[in-house]
Amino acid sequence: MEQTYRFVALDVETANRQHSSICQVGLAMVATNGDIKTISILVDPEQGFEHFNVNLHGIDETTVKGASSFEEVLQFLRPLLERHILVQHSNFDKQAFNAASKFYGVPELRATWVDSVQIARKAWPELKGNGGHGLASLKTHLDLKFEHHNAEEDARAAAEVVLLAETVTGEDFSELARSRKQKYQTSVAVSGNQNGPLYGHVACFTGQLAMSRVEAATFAAGAGITVKTGVSKKVTLLIVGDQDMSTLAGHNKSSKHRRAEELQRDGHEIRILGETEFLKLIAID
The per-residue pLDDT for 284 is 59
- Do 109 and 101 contact (CB within 8 A), yes or no? yes
Residue type, 76: F
**155 has pLDDT over 70:** yes
Relative to beta strand 202-206, strand 22-30 is unpaired
Task: Please state, as a whole number, how many other Cβ atoms lie within 10 Å of the Cβ of residue 262.
Answer: 12
Q: Is 234 exposed, middle or buried, given 0-12, 13-18 or 19+ CB atoms closer than 10 A?
A: exposed
Determine phi and psi for 239, rounding to 5 degrees.
Answer: -105, 120
Q: Is the pLDDT of residue 184 over 90?
A: no
pLDDT at 159: 97
pLDDT band at 249 (very low <50, low <70, confident <90, very high): low
CB count within 10 Å of CB 142 equals: 18
- CB distance 9 to 158 below 8 Å: yes
Could you tell me the pLDDT band of residue 188, with boundaries at 50, 70 and 90?
confident
**pLDDT, average across residues 29-45:** 96
pLDDT average, residue stretch 29-39: 95
In the chain, the domains with their CATH numbers are 1-181 (3.30.420.10), 202-281 (3.40.50.10190)
Name the nearest CA neighbour of 85 among 182, 207, 202, 187. 187
- Report pLDDT digits (tens) over 48-103: 999 999 999 999 999 999 999 999 999 999 999 999 999 999 999 999 999 999 99
- Which pLDDT does position 215 carry in this prediction? 85
Quick one: which of 201, 181, 182 has its CA closest to 191? Answer: 201
Q: Where are the alpha helices (DSSP H) in the chain?
A: 51-57, 70-82, 92-104, 116-123, 135-142, 151-169, 173-176, 213-222, 255-265, 275-281
Residue 132: CB atoms within 10 Å: 14
Share of the chain above pLDDT 70, in %: 93
Residue 183 predicted with pLDDT over 60: no
What is the Cα–Cα distance from 204 to 240, expressed in whole angstroms? Answer: 9
Give φ, ψ of 190 to 5 degrees.
-135, 150
Average pLDDT over the chain reads: 91
Place 209 in a pLDDT band, splitting at 50, 70 and 90.
confident
- Lowest mean per-residue pLDDT among 12-16, 123-127, 276-280: 276-280
- Give this prediction's pTM: 0.77
